[in-house]
Amino acid sequence: MKIKVSDAFKASDAYNYKKMEIIEILQYEWAIRALIASSMVGVMCGVLGVFIVLRNMSLIGDALSHAILPGVVFGFVVAGYSLIGFFAGAVIAGLIAAVIITWIQQNVKTKNDAAIGIVFTAMFSIGVMKISQISRDDGVHLDLKDFLFGNVLGVSNEDLYLTAFVTVYVLVSVIVFYRYLFATTFQSVIAETMGISVQTVHYYLMLLLSFAVVASLKTVGVILVVAMLITPAATALLLTDKLQRVIFIAGLIGLFSAILGLILAILLETTPGPAMAVTATGFYLLAVFFAPQRGLVFKMRNKRQIRQKVELEDTLKQAFKYQERKELSLKKLSQRLSFSELKTKSYLKKLSKKGLVNLHLPTIVVTGKGIKQASKLVRAHRLWETYLVETVGLTDEQIHEDAERYEHILTDELIDEMEHHLGYPTVDPHGSPIPRKHISKNLKLNQIGQNQTAIIDEKQPSEYASAQLWQFGLLPNTEIRVISFKNNQLKLRQNTKTIELPITLAKEICVRKEVEV
C-alpha cells in the first residue's frame, strides 16, 4: 500500500496539533491541579505500597479501599458535601475494617484471605446501598461513579490541600518510623524482643493506608487505588533488593504512572484513573521482561549462557578423554557430543582462546591448563557417581545422567568433603580411575623437567627477573613447556613460539607446577 506525501503531512499536522492541544490544556488551572494531585498520589501510594506488598497485605489494601465507602456516605450524612466529613468518615471506616479483619484472623477459625473478603464486601455493600438510598432524595447528588473511579479533573483547591497534607504526613511517617517498619516487616519476632510493638506498627500502617486511600478518592477512586498501591511497588521489587532503593524507585514509578496516565487520558479522551492504572501496569510489564536478574529476557540469556558453559565444558572433557586414548579428532568429538562439526569447531575455538586447547586442525591438543580443568570435571563426575552408589544406594545404570548434570555445579569444597567422606576412592563404580586433586607447587624454572609444563608466576624475586621475562615475551600466568637443557641454555615453548633462556636466569624465575595430592 502506497502512502501519499500529502497523507504524511496530514498525519504530521495532526500530531503537532495534538501536541499543541495537550500543552494548551495543561496550562489551565484545573489541569494543573489535576497534575499536582495525581503526582502526589502516585508518589505517596508508590512509597506506602512497598510495605503493603512486602507484608503480603495487598488484599488488605484492596479491602480498605472498598471498606471506606460507608464511611464516606455517613460523613456526607453528618456533615453534608464536606471534604473534612468525607475524610473523617473514610478514615474511621478504614480503621474499623482493619480492626475487624485482624480480630477475625486472630480469634476465629477463618482463613486470612476469607476474613478480608467477608469484611470488605460487607462494608462496600453497605456503602453502595446507602448511596442508592440517599440518591433517591430530591436535591441530593452523590455520584457513586466518582468514588469508584475518581474524578481527577474535578479536583478543587480544598482537595489539593488535603492530598498535600496526607502525602507529606505519609512520607514523613515512613522516614521517621522506617526502622520500626523495616524490623516488623522482615523480622517481627526480633522486633518484639527489641521492644517494638508489632501490632501497634500494624495498626499505624493501616491508618496510613486509610489516609492514602482517602487522598486518592478524587484521583483514581476506591477501586483503582489498589493498582497505584501495588503495581509500582511490585515493579520496584523486580528491579532491586535494597529496601531504600525499592522505596525510591516505587515512588518514582508511581509519579510517572500518574503523570503519563493523565496525559494519556487527555490524548485518548478517556477516564484518567484507569489510564494511570494501565500506565503503571505498562511499567510493570517492562520490568517483567527487561529487569536485570529477574526479567524474563535476562533469565533467557542467563539460561542460554549456562547451557553454552555446560556444552563448552563437555567439549573439553570429551576432548581430554579422547586425547588420553590417543583418538582425538574433530569427527569423533562431534559424534560423541551429538553436535555438528561446525558447532564443535566453534567451541574448540573458544577453548583455544582460553588457552585450554591448541587448535591447528586437523590437530587438536588439550593443554596442561585444559587437562587440569577437564580432570576436575571428570573427578567431580566419578566422585558423585561413587557417592550415589555407596551412600544413596543407586545402581550403576541410574547414576550417569545425574552425574553429567551435577559435575558442572559441584563446588571444590563440596567435592573435597565428598572425597573425604568416601575415604578417598581411586576408582568409580564403573572401574574408571578417579583423577586426584591438583595443587600449585612453587618452583624455579630450572627445576622443571624436560617435556613438563609450568605456569609463569606473577610474583618474581626481583625487578631484573620480571624485566628479563618481559623482554623474552613471557608474561605472568602463561603456560610454558620445557623442551631441553643444552650448553647452559634452557629451551622452552610458549604456544607456538620457541624461546631460549640462560640457565642463570632460569634459576631466578618463579613458576607454578600443578601436582596431584
User: Which 3 state secondary structure label does DSSP give 57?
Assistant: coil
pLDDT above 80 (res 350): yes
Give how far Cα 432 sits from Cα of 300, 378, 399, 400, Å. Answer: 37, 10, 14, 13
Give the mean model confidence (pLDDT) for residues 66-76. 79
- Alpha-carbon distance 136 to 132, whole Å? 7
Tell the burial category of 472 from Cβ atoms under 10 Å away from its Cβ (0-12, 13-18, 19+).
Answer: middle
Residue 359 or 287, more confident: 287
pLDDT above 50 (res 6): no
Count of alpha carbons within 13 angstroms of residue 343, beta-carbon side: 13
pLDDT tens for residues 146-205? 555 556 666 777 778 888 888 999 999 999 999 999 999 888 888 888 888 888 898 888
User: Which 3 state secondary structure label does DSSP give 3?
Assistant: coil
- Confidence (pLDDT) at 46: 92
Give the mean model confidence (pLDDT) for residues 263-267. 82
- Alpha-carbon distance 270 to 152, whole Å? 12
Q: Any idea which architecture 370-421 has in CATH?
A: Orthogonal Bundle (1.10)
User: Which 3 state secondary structure label does DSSP give 344?
Assistant: helix
Look at residues 87, 42, 92 and name the one whose alpha carbon lies nearest to residue 229: 42
Would you list the DSSP string of 425-456?
Answer: -SB-TTSPBPPPPEEEEEEEGGGSPTT-EEEE
CATH number of 438-516: 2.30.30.90
Average pLDDT, the chain: 82
- Confidence (pLDDT) at 251: 94
- Alpha-carbon distance 68 to 120, whole Å? 9
Tell the burial category of 36 from Cβ atoms under 10 Å away from its Cβ (0-12, 13-18, 19+).
Answer: middle
223 alpha carbon, distance to own chain's centre = 30
- Confidence (pLDDT) at 51: 92
- Alpha-carbon distance 411 to 418, whole Å? 11
- Homologous superfamily (CATH) for 48-230: ABC transporter involved in vitamin B12 uptake, BtuC (1.10.3470.10)
CA trace torsion 196, 105, 208, 72 (10° rounding) = -150
pLDDT above 80 (res 455): yes
Q: What is the pTM of this model?
A: 0.68
Residue 472 or 27, more confident: 472
Strand boundaries in 245-370, DSSP class E: 357-360, 363-366
- Alpha-carbon distance 86 to 100, whole Å? 21
Residue indicated by cell numbers 567439549: 315
Domain boundaries, the chain: 48-230, 297-366, 370-421, 438-516
Residue 137 grid coordinates = 432524595
Residue 300 pLDDT grade (very low, low, confident, very high; cuts 50, 70, 90): very high
Residue 362 grid coordinates = 586437523
Backbone angles phi, psi at 417, to 5 degrees: -65, -40
Residue 389 grid coordinates = 552408589
Residue 416 or 255, more confident: 255
User: Which 3 state secondary structure label does DSSP give 165?
Assistant: helix
- Confidence (pLDDT) at 178: 92
Residue 126 pLDDT grade (very low, low, confident, very high; cuts 50, 70, 90): confident
Identity of residue 181 = L
- Alpha-carbon distance 341 to 247, whole Å? 52
Give how far Cα 252 sits from Cα of 68, 146, 235, 294, 364, Å. Answer: 27, 26, 11, 20, 56
User: Which 3 state secondary structure label does DSSP give 49?
Assistant: helix
- Alpha-carbon distance 46 to 250, whole Å? 5
- Confidence (pLDDT) at 20: 53
User: Which 3 state secondary structure label does DSSP give 167?
Assistant: helix
Residue 9 pLDDT grade (very low, low, confident, very high; cuts 50, 70, 90): very low
Give the mean model confidence (pLDDT) for residues 365-386. 87
Backbone angles phi, psi at 150, to 5 degrees: 85, 165
CATH number of 297-366: 1.10.10
pLDDT above 90 (res 269): no
Tell the burial category of 350 from Cβ atoms under 10 Å away from its Cβ (0-12, 13-18, 19+).
Answer: middle
Residue 66 grid coordinates = 472498598
Alpha helices by DSSP H, listed for 195-271, are 198-215, 221-239, 243-268
- Alpha-carbon distance 385 to 401, whole Å? 10
Given a contact cutoff of 8 angstroms between Cβ atoms, the answer to whether 68 and 214 are in contact is yes
- Confidence (pLDDT) at 247: 95
pLDDT tens for residues 463-480? 888 888 888 888 887 888
Residue 286 grid coordinates = 517492562
Identity of residue 370 = G
3-state helix, strand, coil in the chain (%, to 5): 70, 10, 20
pLDDT above 60 (res 19): no
Look at residues 303, 294, 281, 218 and name the one whose alpha carbon lies nearest to residue 40: 218
Look at residues 61, 278, 52 and name the one whose alpha carbon lies nearest to residue 185: 52
Identity of residue 359 = L
Give the mean model confidence (pLDDT) for residues 78-104. 80
The pLDDT > 70 percentage for the chain reads: 87
